[in-house]
Amino acid sequence: LDHWEDDLLRDHREGDNLRDHWEDDHLRDHREDDHLLDHREDDHLLDHWEDDHLRDHREDDHLLDHWEGDLLDHREGDHLRDHREGDHLHDHWEDENLRDHREGDHLLDHREDDLLDHREGDLLDHREGDHLRDHRDGDHLRDHREGDHLLDHREDDLLDHREGDLLRDHREDDHLRDHWEDDHLRDHREDDHLRDHREDD
């Protein structure tokens, strides 16, 4: 049972059934067995994991994110077409003309209209509106969101620090280490196995 009063997160685990509710952002996050059903009412994020098949739909920004094999991520509003083939991420924003290609470990992300994301060599992504500061140096991702205070750092395979809610999310190889300091969430993904440990509740 995980409650965030500021961001109004209501996170209820019943058996293996995770009920995760964000009242302000209206996140409805339900995990049933391996099936993640994640609904955000305002931003309309509908995020469904069915086996390995992620169905992620954002109605306002129209994120349609599908994992089928290695295929993922379609954004209709901004027209993101994001396909992962092998380790190759092919990510296309049609409206804002984002062309995001991961070749090897190299993310090449180009947004032409609102040009928000520049990677030159191994470079970086700046979003001024929501204050996303996303910096990749080599494999080193620096992702800072000032509004919701997302501080996301990838150093080699280490990533994700949220100062506001104190999320410590570390990916080592394919091993996700996800640590919530306040509510003491310990979330470990090893191979495809999610190990989620919550210490207080």
Percent of the chain with pLDDT over 70: 0
For the segment 41-48, the average pLDDT, to the nearest whole number, is 33
pLDDT digits (tens, 9 = 90+) for 110-160: 333 333 333 333 233 433 332 333 333 333 333 333 333 333 333 322 333
Q: Predicted confidence band at 176 (pLDDT cuts at 50, 70, 90)?
A: very low
Q: Which residues contact 120 (CB under 8 A, 6 or more apart)?
A: none
Structure-block tokens of residue 151: 């501080």
Count the neighbouring beta carbons within 10 Å of the beta carbon of residue 177.
Answer: 19
Average pLDDT score over the chain: 34
Phi, psi of 8 (to 5 degrees): 55, 50
Residue 131 zone, left/alpha/beta (φ > 0; ψ -120 to 50; rest): left
Q: Predicted confidence band at 80 (pLDDT cuts at 50, 70, 90)?
A: very low
Gap between the Cα atoms of 64 and 87, Å rounded? 20
For the segment 174-188, the average pLDDT, to the nearest whole number, is 34
pTM: 0.11
What pairs with residue 33 in β-bridges?
none
Structure-block tokens of residue 88: 């190759």
Predicted local distance difference test score (pLDDT) of residue 19: 39
